[in-house]
Amino acid sequence: MTAQATADARAALGDLVGDRAEEWDLAGRIPAETVREASRRGLLCAQVAAEHGGLGLDSRANGELTAHAGSLCSSLRSLMTSQGMAAWTVQRFGTAVQRGTFLPRLTGGETAGVAFSESGAGSDLSAMRTEIRRDGDTVHVTGAKVWVTGAAYASLLVVFGIYGDGAAVVMVPADAPGVRIERVPDPMGCRAAGHADVHLDDVRVPAGHLLSGAGLPVALLATAALTYGRLSVAWGCAGILRACLDSTVAHTRTREQFGKPLADHQLVARHLAELAVAEQVALRCCEHASACWDGNRPELGTQAVVAKYVASREATRGAATAVQVLASRGARDGHPVARAYRDAKLMEIIEGSTEISQLLLADHVRTGRG
Q: What are phi and psi of 182, to 5 degrees?
A: -120, 120
Q: What is the DSSP string of 181-235?
A: EEEPSS-SSSTTS--EEEEEEEEEEEGGGB-TTTTS-HHHHHHHHHHHHHHHHHH
pLDDT at 213: 85
Q: Classify residue 13 as exposed, middle or buried by CB count within 10 Å of its CB (0-12, 13-18, 19+).
A: buried
pLDDT at 6: 81
pLDDT at 263: 66
pTM, two decimals, is 0.95
pLDDT above 70: percentage of residues in the chain = 97
**What single letter denotes the amino acid at residue 30?**
I
266: pLDDT confidence band, cut at 50, 70 and 90?
confident
pLDDT at 333: 86
Kindly state the average pLDDT of the residues 327-331: 84
Total Cβ atoms within 10 A of residue 273: 10
Kindly state the average pLDDT of the residues 101-122: 93
Question: How far is it, in rounded angstroms, from Cα 14 to Cα 11?
Answer: 5
**What single letter denotes the amino acid at residue 307?**
A
Kindly state the average pLDDT of the residues 303-318: 98
When computed from its CA atoms, the radius of gyration of the chain, rounded to whole angstroms, is: 20
Question: How far is it, in rounded angstroms, from Cα 242 to Cα 286?
Answer: 14
What average pLDDT does the structure give for the chain? 93
**Residue 222 · residue 116 · CB < 8 Å:** yes
**Residue 99 · residue 121 · CB < 8 Å:** no
Question: How far is it, in rounded angstroms, from Cα 147 to Cα 203?
Answer: 19
Opening angle at CA 151, ends 150 and 155, nearest 5: 105
pLDDT at 127: 86
Kindly state the average pLDDT of the residues 338-345: 96
Q: Classify residue 299 as exposed, middle or buried by CB count within 10 Å of its CB (0-12, 13-18, 19+).
A: middle
- Give the tens place of pLDDT for each residue, 168-205: 999 999 999 999 999 999 999 999 999 999 999 999 99
pLDDT at 264: 64
- Give the tens place of pLDDT for each residue, 138-164: 999 999 999 999 999 999 999 999 999
370: pLDDT confidence band, cut at 50, 70 and 90?
very low
pLDDT at 254: 85
Kindly state the average pLDDT of the residues 52-70: 96
Q: What is the DSSP string of 24-35?
A: HHHHT---HHHH
Total Cβ atoms within 10 A of residue 274: 15
